[in-house]
Chains A and B, each alone.
Chain A
Amino acid sequence: MATTTIQPQTTVHHDDGHEHEHHEGNFWTTYVFSQDHKTIAKQFLITGMAWALIGGLFSVIFRLQLGFPEATLEWLRPVLGGWITPEGKLDPEFYLSLVTMHGTIMVFFVLTAGLSGTFSNFLIPLQVGARDMASGFMNMLSYWFFFLSSAVMFVSLFLSTGPASGGWTVYPPLSALPQAIQGSGLGMTLWLVSMALFIVSTLLGGINYITTVINMRTNGMSFTKMPLTIWAFFFTAIIGLLSFPVLFSAALLLIFDRSFGTSFFLSDIYIAGEALSNVGGSPILFQHLFWFLGHPEVYIVLLPALGITSEIIATNSRKPIFGYKAMVGSMMFIAILSFIVWAHHMFVTGMNPFLGSIFTILTLIIAVPSAVKIFNYVTTLWGGNIRFTPAMLFSLGLVSFFLTGGITGLFLGNSAVDIQLHDTYFVVAHFHLVMGSASFFGMIAGVYHWFPKMFGRMMDDRLGYIHFWMTFVGVYLVFFPMHYIGIAGFPRRYYSWTNFETFSGWTDLNMLVSIAAILTLSAQFIFMFNFIYSIFRGKLAPANPWNSTTLEWTTPRFPQHGNWPGEIPTVYRWPYDYSKPGAKEDFIPQTVPYSETPESNLKHENDLIKLEMGSGSGVVTGNGH
């Protein structure tokens, strides 16, 4: 009995009463209110891409103002209407709205929902071997809360007073008082409503991801056999679960301050000589609450990208990932550290310098696990049989940005140096490289890599290469000069510098940055075209186009609801058996038992064969249900 069942390939296609798994729904239940994790993932992806386009366009508009302060933007009047002043300039308050919305959209809607929402949803059930998420209904709710949140934020863009404009960090009192800036009126209210809905969406999703990873793994999928993607999504979900409720608290108190007249964050404010009635609040308190979410949020954005990259780099180097346990350990260490470094965003709030040095040390410690990760990426590549697919190129791009952007973090994390660099373009350069571009590249790499599984077709490689080189060069051209601009003392979020003698010398560099930004954005249209074209006209994808080992490539070309037509495959080995000495091919899928590969087994793996027979008969007893 055991001998027939140790071959999972034969049991996979056994049809044993699972027809009920792939029932046909109508258009609404299949494409709109779907509870299938793959459809929900695509919904997140497409919504995220739409937001990325809006966020990117916003950045180009404000870059036009910064790079070409003398130019007339009259030609944008048909789109922006009253936000172009009669002199043909961008309205200064609208400039601030654009900056705020660019940050909010990119951080939350693109790199949190678009990245985690897409890939956690798509890959967790497929890679751990589950038919779907723990709760498909909650998963659906998660997307629709995100959609509702998106809709509210989108509506706020069209208000006559403009969307929220107090910066994506929405510090009070600026964000609390409509008298301070127009965007702090209805725009800010909608921002808060939207974020509350967004938090609900993230928590619903996160609870599902954690539950699925812990409770729904297939037979044999022990924690040490999980792909690094799953580890990354798992830690991301835990971080989100612990930090987003804190943002909720901050938003709640801010709502009370704004709409009910309490004074949690407001005190001693005079507007046009008149004192406001609010006394006893502390604006610093908001910063503490905000950054308790805000810093972990950086890793919520980054960890999934790192997980995706680990997977892609190992697959395309045709080598096992170097230091699997070190990778897991460093991600866990980063996740823990992310909760105890938040005050490095607040060095100049007048905090006790001793406290500042504690946060400096804690912050600099993050360099250790980060360096471990970069080291492991490089050593995985070393001596590998590298295939430069677009996904691989974007993953390498991530490693590059993670390094160049991470190094400037050492400067900024230092409380003494930060006094000079705080709120300058140096900060903007740092986080756009290490968090923005790195995560964005991880997301794009993931799209190129798993597109065949998502849509059953291949994306065009040549367009992918053009997209990569334009974006990669573009991103460095945008953010590298910003370091110099920042060290020169240019403050971020300023509408114009031409009024200051000190800053008049850098107009050429700013012009370069703006031109590069336009170039980078235009490259994304190549990607958009490639993406949409390939969904309908791309080359048909083989079942396992990258010769990958993980479970998602054992599904049919178009996995139905339930993912595997027959029994869920059993897992026998870790996911990184690439180029194993002695093996027939340069990859051995996780579903191949050791008993089938005597030529490549290591000594301790031969000992495991007997155990496999045991679990094989377990599958047989499972057939009876």
Chain B
Amino acid sequence: MSDMKIENMRIVEEPKKPLAMNPKKFGLWLFLTTVVMVFASLTSAYIVRRAEGDWKIFELPSLFYWTSIAIVISSITMHMAYLYAKKDNREMVQTLLTITGLLGIAFLIGQFYGWVQLVSSKIYFVGNPSESFVYVLSGLHGLHLVSGVIFLAVVWRKSALGKLVSGNLAQFEMCMTYWHFLGGLWLYLFLFLSLYR
């Protein structure tokens, strides 16, 4: 009994924070929750509207397959950059972050040309809601990805200035979380749009 008390005492002696998470990281997760809610509501609106009939069915642009591959690869390079950052290999971090950023930009350009493909097959933003939804979902995701690229640029600059050291990777980790999240979000949207036509 007394042993147990001593052990308890030792636990409370540590001046510990109630939760060990960095408040900024926690804030990022809350922000991601709001993004999830935006897309969850839009895709549920899609399902509800689709159930009412008068729904135009069409092929998604073939470019979307390529952009999906690009975003998956960018997530892999992002993660590799992180592994190198933990080992303080600045050169590799720079290279991999650059590749990640370029893949992100390539994704955005690919999405835009995907829209061009849609337009050329006479699928317009203004038309049946099924057509409008594709533009809204991919456009809103693209907008978020732009912010992801900006975040990446901030981290890249930090790395270029030599301020990215293995002991202080919180910002990098947040950027990585956001990037993986946006990649996953696109895969969800793409799968959703392909399956629920």
Contacts and interface: CB of A to CB of B under 8 A. Distances in A.
B31 to A, nearest CB: 6
Given A245-B37, A260-B125, A619 B10 contact: no
Interface stretch (B41-49, B71-79, B110-118): B41-49
B18 interface: yes
Nearest to A223: B18
Interface stretch (B20-28, B57-65, B175-183): B20-28
Given A256-B136, A621-B15, A613 B23 contact: no
Contacts of A622: 15
A279 B130 CA distance: 12
A261 interface: yes
Nearest to A261: B126
Given A613-B9, A617-B13, A207 B125 contact: no
Interface string B109-137: 00000000000000001111100100010
A210 B30 contact: yes
Which applies to chain B's interface (DSSP): helix, strand, loop or mixed? helix
Contact of A611 (B8, B18, B27, B127): B8
A215 B26 contact: yes
A245 B38 contact: yes
Contact of A215 (B23, B33, B35, B42): B23
A338 to B, nearest CB: 14
B30 A241 contact: yes
Which applies to chain A's interface (DSSP): helix, strand, loop or mixed? helix
Nearest to A263: B129
A288 B46 CA distance: 12
A170 B145 CA distance: 31
Contacts of A216: 23
Interface residues of A, number: 52
B34 interface: yes
A383 interface: no
A138 B55 CA distance: 42
B12 interface: yes
Contacts of B12: 611, 614-615, 618
A610 B5 CA distance: 8
Interface in A205-222: 206-208, 210-212, 214-217, 219, 221-222
Interface in B127-153: 127-129, 132, 136, 140
14 contacts: A134-B26, A135-B24, A207-B27, A207-B31, A210-B26, A216-B23, A217-B18, A241-B33, A245-B37, A246-B37, A253-B42, A263-B132, A613-B9, A614-B12
Interface of B: 5, 8-15, 17-19, 21, 23-24, 26-27, 30-31, 33-35, 37-38, 41-42, 45, 48-49, 52, 54-55, 125-129, 132, 136, 140
Would you list the 3 A-B pairs with minimal beta carbon distance, nearest first?
A245-B37, A614-B9, A246-B41
